[in-house]
Structure 1
């Protein structure tokens, strides 16, 4: 009987992913995986457990499988693939995997990693790890990329990427460069400077929270300084008549024109993730150490070495219009214009935060009543949401801390945009690239270029 095997593309992704789990870039910061190794007699980890991590599930097509749900054939196929790695070792029975060499003291490894790491900002809220890796790999070999969360709300990307290079010299050379990403000049600094600034920000956040807590009773009736109830988060799922896949499984994002469509498992690229947060993008280690924490923490940072799809840094309006025309009649591709035509039935739509190929986004209505009408219609609909081409859009309100952070970030980015615009005009438009905004795209409305630097999925 033939041994179960993985196809070539899946095998490459699996090797990259598992090698990253056990790498010096990830393991010292990955409390769960490190504890699992320390608790084992042979320093190895169950392959069924590794296969149940969310990125691995995506590569292997395992859905929401838990370790006990991973089939024996899948474990065997992964084991055979990992036996080709010179960095990993697989047990004789093919059920466990580990490092060939022992990990040095975590604190020493982290210290060595930090001197090879730089911080780069500002980056758009939904920037992809593989895109950052591809960009910096043009200047030096990149070991890994991390996208730390916002100190005030761990659901949000901070706007700064941490890039670890293969050598300290490479990191120092990149720091000397003047680089622009998506039409905006980057601020580059050593990770130590980033850590110092972040520590101060965390102190300020704690002070603010303490003050808010002590004054909460006195300010129970105080009104927020932003309009409430205008923001609605939506998520696209394929209509049951056409299957249950989300949109990302069917169409390539606009900025991947000419490349193969990206699947849901590729949205962040494959690579580093067990200790931070799924769907997030954090370089901050979550101290939880149970399996649920790992599943939550798996999406947040990725070593993007080997990523194949080079994404354009910016795209002209003509090309964007061409893309819209190409997809206008394609029922499997949702455009912002499609969403607007649905949402504006309930009232005035101010802005739709969405990119082709995404499975979620936000709509900002002109008034709270319109937002309520849209949500009510979605809840009452027989399909469980609003029909948009071959998809169903489910709606959730964005409230409380998430709503406040949305407006704070919106205002912050508006100020940054104005400052960048003035600065670029003063330098003869060197980095303005024909009037493009913060996100490197042409404005479609007065809101373009001032979108909050937030992650795509904010729990309401």
Structure 2
């Protein structure tokens, strides 16, 4: 068996070995296991605290690391793959693997869960804004320049679980590193990052959650604040390194308390109601980055406009296509506003809700903040003639 396992492990190159080892160690780590309801339950239901390695290999990220088809399940996991992974995991001091290579678990049993979670939270920071399609690996590499990073999480948006909320949770190895990061002035993709303790983020998110859940659908199932319609208007504002914004090609726009309040979830019209939340199991599809739709990180002394390519009609269509089919985009390069015509009104409603409840008040794209407004009444009738 050992010979077969060694031979199987040889089929994994060094890059895969590193990714697989790091991923499985993370699954069973203090950073993840206490909060991973499914895996924790599986461990607790096991007599020996070990779980099927075929199950672990069937997780989405593991299949990606191993180059497996997304359709592969635990029951159809190739035995040679399981043996190869088992051989790799034997190198870890944090994991234990059964002799036959079919089960894996923590080397040290998980205990004092509440205490562990408190410790993890104390060394975790929340940083925003990040582009909607940022890669977890890019965030990890970015913060690794400022300390040893244990883990990075990209929480989903309150209104639509398919989408990243814009705030990354970064756990450092030491609490001192987390505290030091709170004092750093960091820029990612042309935007100044706001960094706060995770506990503050959790409290703010809970308030937003409660506000969202209190909104009830009207009798006909549509939100008066998000009117039924296929067209939405959008506006582009460049994000300056100093935190301000300009309209595309215009003068700097000064943020005031009033303008910030107008974008906040707590200032939503109480008459408004929630759109229907249509969740998708295909989260992996929405992780695919829109090529060219995100600017590279820039230096402090450079402006986003000097680093990012101009936003095109295709960029707009690709980004908002995540909410549903986009039939037409009325926009030309260099404009500071335009219109999007969706295939159905539900897609338009979801896009507006997502932007309205985002911390930034809109979506980030190529160093710009994209804000949305409904088109209704006479304007709606006018644009029906133009883009329908």
Say whether residues 1:16 and 2:19 are aligned partners.
no
Distance in 1 separating the partners of 2:318 and 2:43:
42
Distance in 1 separating the partners of 2:224 and 2:97:
61
Q: Secondary structure at the match of 1:103?
A: coil
Question: Is residue 165–residue 358 contact of structure 2 (8 Å, CA) maintained in 1?
Answer: no
Question: Is residue 140–residue 152 contact of structure 2 (8 Å, CA) maintained in 1?
Answer: yes
Q: Secondary structure at the match of 2:316?
A: strand
Within the candidate set 34, 37, 48, 2:40 is matched to 34
Q: CA deviation at 1:105?
A: 2.5
Question: Is residue 128–residue 194 contact of structure 2 (8 Å, CA) maintained in 1?
Answer: yes
Question: Is residue 51–residue 67 contact of structure 1 (8 Å, CA) maintained in 2?
Answer: yes
Q: What corresponds to 1:450 in structure 2?
A: 370
Q: CA deviation at 1:353?
A: 2.8
Question: Is residue 96–residue 104 contact of structure 2 (8 Å, CA) maintained in 1?
Answer: yes
Map 1:51-450 onto structure 2 (within 5 A): 51-63=57-69, 64-209=71-216, 212=217, 215-217=218-220, 224-225=226-227, 227-228=229-230, 312-314=296-298, 351-353=316-318, 363=326, 365-366=328-329, 397=343, 399-400=345-346, 402-410=347-355, 439-441=365-367, 449-450=369-370
TM-score, L = length of structure 2: 0.65
Distance in 1 separating the partners of 2:182 and 2:132:
23
Distance in 2 separating the partners of 1:67 and 1:105:
31
Q: CA deviation at 1:46?
A: 0.8
Within the candidate set 51, 54, 58, 1:48 is matched to 54
Deviations 1:158-178 (A, max 9, x none): 211111111111111111122
Gap change, CA 1:31 and 1:140, over 3 Å in 2? same
Distance in 1 separating the partners of 2:153 and 2:219:
35
Aligned length: 297
Q: Secondary structure at the match of 1:15?
A: helix
Q: Secondary structure at the match of 1:352?
A: helix
Return 5+ residue gaps in structure 1 as ranges.
232-294, 302-310, 325-335, 341-349, 368-395, 418-436, 442-447, 453-460
Q: CA deviation at 1:101?
A: 0.7
Gap change, CA 1:413 and 1:58, over 3 Å in 2? closer
Q: Secondary structure at the match of 1:69?
A: coil
Q: CA deviation at 1:438?
A: 5.1
Q: What corresponds to 1:260 in structure 2?
A: none
